[in-house]
Chains A and B, each alone.
Chain A
């Protein structure tokens, strides 16, 4: 019994992975049917896990409000109110209802836009941190950046003979070549990880 409890999850993962692999490579009604059934089960499990995770998050914030967590409890309360309101609206009039759509368009849409703008600010801070030339690698990055910016983006680059072709060569040959190398490496890494999982050797994923 203990053996089934330990090996069971690995076996399920292994069979599901083999089925998915078979569906990708082979044609046949039986394989397609089995893969479709597996897909339906995945959707059901995912839906349940979302409900459970939301409940879990709600309970966490409820605890935070109860113990009046310093400086954060009112965020938790706000979160709980929103969950209740959205859950009620979504359940009462379905996600296509006018109130739910209004919320998605005017609250979610605008908030997401605002959050996305923050990425620009982080890009600037990341670039500032990166190009402070603390090592040979960053020196190489700064040189490449200057070649790109002056050779390609700023019009001043055109007045320096030979700069735009060097920038183009860096992009077309060095960058594209390295990119493909990384893609191949990552692809092989994924294949091997998958095989190790199918063969039930990746035991850490279940805390074993």
Chain B
């Protein structure tokens, strides 16, 4: 009776070919909810320290010593397309960078390419300065600079900004395209520490080679959780690893079954 109901009602509602995906997402939801529950009971997962976190701290400290500003940008990542998660993760990291900048009295410049992120950036930087008790030092006009919404206009503006205001550190996390090197190489030339992060597959290699500290792939999202210091968020990273191990097991089982002539697991994903 129940299985008939599921088959006739529920499965017909799901778009063809997406049943496998929805199962993974639902499993992830359940794991997150369990994590929230366990955290409320005092559980704390061990978390390896990400090198980029040390890099960010060193970068802002370096700016304080050199008397130079720190430059941050989430580049051209929008809030309404596939890169939205990456953009939001980048903005979460901005909160941490801004907090350090406020603590050490380092001027921060945020280069903006996507206009709809301006109110969020304003809230984040204002919040960070308030937390450090230095709201009076926050100059919105000097901090948030809308450069250009166009890819090449934005990269040109970033190059110009970095040359006109030599920075001590250049933190760029978000969606990167063919212009990736235009963000990091001018910074390297003017002697600033390069910190980059992206999960855009086509440009991971440039971030890895052109920066001093990098976060690639899922590290961008892990970084956002790590710097929040919220135990629920950091504990969910443990859940992420569980799903990852599950998928590795699935892939291995799929390889063994395929070697035996069965495509059962592949068909399940395409359901």
Binding site for B on A (CB under 8 A): 21, 24-28, 42, 45-46, 49-50, 52-54, 56-57, 59-60, 63, 71-72, 75, 111-112, 115-116, 118-119, 122-123, 125-127, 129-130, 141, 179, 182-186, 188-197, 199, 201-208
Contact = CB atoms under 8 A, between A and B. Distances in A.
Given A193-B85, A194-B85, A196-B32, A206 B210 contact: no
Given A46-B80, A53-B115, A197-B88, A182 B216 contact: yes
A123 B37 CA distance: 48
Nearest to B87: A205
Nearest to A22: B13
Interface string B226-256: 0110101100110110011001000000000
A207 B217 contact: no
A140 to B, nearest CB: 12
B21 A115 contact: no
Nearest first, the 7 closest Cβ-Cβ pairs linking A and B are A207-B127, A189-B218, A53-B115, A189-B221, A207-B123, A122-B181, A204-B92
A74 B226 CA distance: 43
A26 B13 CA distance: 5
A176 B170 CA distance: 31
B116 interface: yes
Given A50-B149, A193-B221, A204-B95, A186 B199 contact: yes
A9 to B, nearest CB: 9
Tell me what chain A mostly uses at the interface: helix, strand, loop, or mixed. Answer: helix
A53 B118 contact: yes
Given A188-B240, A202-B88, A195 B32 contact: yes
Interface stretch (B23-31, B49-57, B58-66, B262-270): B23-31
Given A26-B13, A189-B222, A193-B89, 10 more contacts: A27-B15, A50-B149, A59-B141, A130-B209, A183-B217, A186-B217, A191-B243, A192-B236, A204-B92, A207-B128
A207 B85 contact: no
B231 to A, nearest CB: 11
B199 A189 contact: yes
Nearest to A129: B188
B210 A126 contact: yes
Contacts of B219: 189
B249 to A, nearest CB: 13
19 contacts: A25-B14, A26-B13, A26-B14, A26-B15, A53-B149, A118-B182, A119-B178, A126-B184, A182-B204, A182-B216, A186-B221, A190-B221, A192-B239, A193-B221, A195-B236, A197-B88, A202-B233, A207-B95, A207-B128
Contacts of B112: 53
Contacts of B210: 126, 129-130
Tell me what chain B mostly uses at the interface: helix, strand, loop, or mixed. Answer: helix
Nearest to B91: A205
Nearest to A70: B164
Interface string B92-126: 10011000000000000000100110111001111
A207 B115 CA distance: 17
A196 to B, nearest CB: 6
A186 B236 contact: no
B95 to A, nearest CB: 4
Contacts of A71: 164
Contact of A116 (B118, B126, B152): B152
A57 B145 CA distance: 7
Nearest to B125: A207
Q: Which of B24, B145, B189, B244 has the most CB of A within 10 A?
A: B244
Contacts of A27: 13-15
A119 B179 contact: yes
Contacts of B240: 188-189, 192
B124 A63 contact: no
Interface string B201-218: 100101001100000111
Interface in B116-167: 116, 118-120, 123-128, 141, 145-147, 149, 152, 155-156, 160, 164
B223 to A, nearest CB: 10
Nearest to A180: B251
Nearest to B160: A75
B115 A193 contact: no
Given A56-B118, A184-B247, A195-B28, A25 B22 contact: yes
Given A24-B18, A52-B115, A126-B185, A196 B28 contact: no
